[in-house]
Structure 1
């Protein structure tokens, strides 16, 4: 009888330990979690800083952020390999269709405004182009800077690759879906575009506002500078919104991060990084 009582006591103790462990695990999952964010290199600096600040405040969270382009991020979200996709364009119809086929309810969250700045090498005297001149350069109709009032110097066209949301917006607003010149240097990130332009006197490229440095020269388009005021007023012609995408049933940790981006502190980070906050 004593052996049975002892056995029952041991079983009860094991059950209590198991329940306590499960409860602690559930509490841990509720308090924190791992969040994977990938996509647009335009938004990358924003979310890298967001992750740093948020993890300092909430060490129970583990947030990983990587680039690759808007298309890469959205694909990862739809495939289930990312919790949040960064996109410098809206989702395409075929991406929404894929989400529907997979029975995924996707949320679109605007987090900032941006202008796509056209940049030249600092030594290039050209200070502005019309949209038509810019288009002619990128489709190969104009090949020398002297054709647009600049020096007798071949134009080196630098562009983002097709996985980029920045390319999608530039293609729509500038190229009007005409074919990009075949000898354009295709780059995988804003930083790579900037590096190519600063390394070649005849180069022209386009980057998000947050990537402008003294190593490149932003120019006017149709007589308008890419400033916050002129972007918000709609006068600057190559402007866009920046987005995060996540599933409507995303883990709590992912929703917490998005909420932080939209908070006053998060929007302050948007401005500090070089973009235009929503508020």
Structure 2
């Protein structure tokens, strides 16, 4: 019996070459959330998701567009964890989804853009409205060359369109010949490729392929820029938002906290928008 006990003790001491078997730590469980909605907010959400996932291997953040209306509906009905919108909630949305919580992640100016061949450099909001209602049809009426104005806008699910409708159009009807596009990128591309075209996009979509018009505000020409939105001088400015159903928790909260952190707000500025 004594020999059996000694043999057992001896085996325990040398069974691993004298080393203790290291304990294994389970890999962290992957956490997933979905973010959908506004194509204006989309580049901020995507870059922030990529940066967050690089630092947190357990996180899986799926980001997609579809428009502000689709984003609000998705988070309100529970098919997405976070909804993106480039406008505030409509009264009907507040009534239908009373528990949505708003997070302002950035600020933005809506830039009115034209094809680079258009000779006009500035317009008043009244002149822009006249173009989009169809009252003004040719650039020569605005001091430009004899060229038909091609009106480019956004589809009905767009938060950018909703804000433009309230701020510039004052709820007036759009001209029936307006070409409706489903994203900022599509508007920019169409304006860049179409002689005489005019459109509107978020600040983050401006580049050399289009010309951004200055807004004539009571005789003062104000260009769309981070500086003029920050100062409050640019007249067509808004907030960019994310919504959750109830207060954010878990990965959704961590992701939103990251976007609102200095690192996240740096991404906002790198994407051409104004920090919240």
Match of 1:214 in 2: 208
Structure 1, unmatched stretches of 5+, are: 1-23
1:113 aligns with one of 99, 107, 113: 107
- 2:112, 2:201 within 8 Å by CA — same for their partners in 1? yes
1:248 CA displacement? 2.1
How many residues matched? Answer: 248
Normalized per residue, which structure has more helix?
Answer: 1
Determine the structure 2 residue equivalent to 1:152: 146
Residue 205 of structure 1 corresponds to 199
1: CA distance, partners of 2:165 / 2:124:
15
- Which of 78, 84, 93 is the matching residue for 1:80? 78
Q: Which residue in the other structure is 1:57 paired with?
A: 55
Instruction: Work out the CA distance in 2 between the residues paired with 1:227 and 1:45.
Output: 18
Give the TM-score normalised by structure 1: 0.86
Per-residue CA deviation, residues 145-167 of structure 1 (Å, 9 max, x unaligned), is 00000110000000011100000
Determine if the alignment matches structure 1 residue 139 to structure 2 residue 133: yes
Matched, 1:183 2:177: yes
Report the RMSD for the aligned CA atoms in angstroms: 1.5
Change (3 A) 1:229 1:249: closer
- State which drifts further: 249-258 or 209-218: 249-258
Match of 1:164 in 2: 158
- Please identify the structure whose Cα radius of gyration is greater: 2
The alpha-carbon deviation at position 233 of structure 1 amounts to 2.2
Q: Shift in Å at residue 250 of structure 1?
A: 4.2
Q: What's the offset of the Cα at 1:273?
A: 0.9
Could you tell me the TM-score, scaled by structure 2's length? 0.87
Unaligned stretches of 5+ residues in structure 2: 1-25
Q: 1:124 offset after TM fit, Å?
A: 1.3
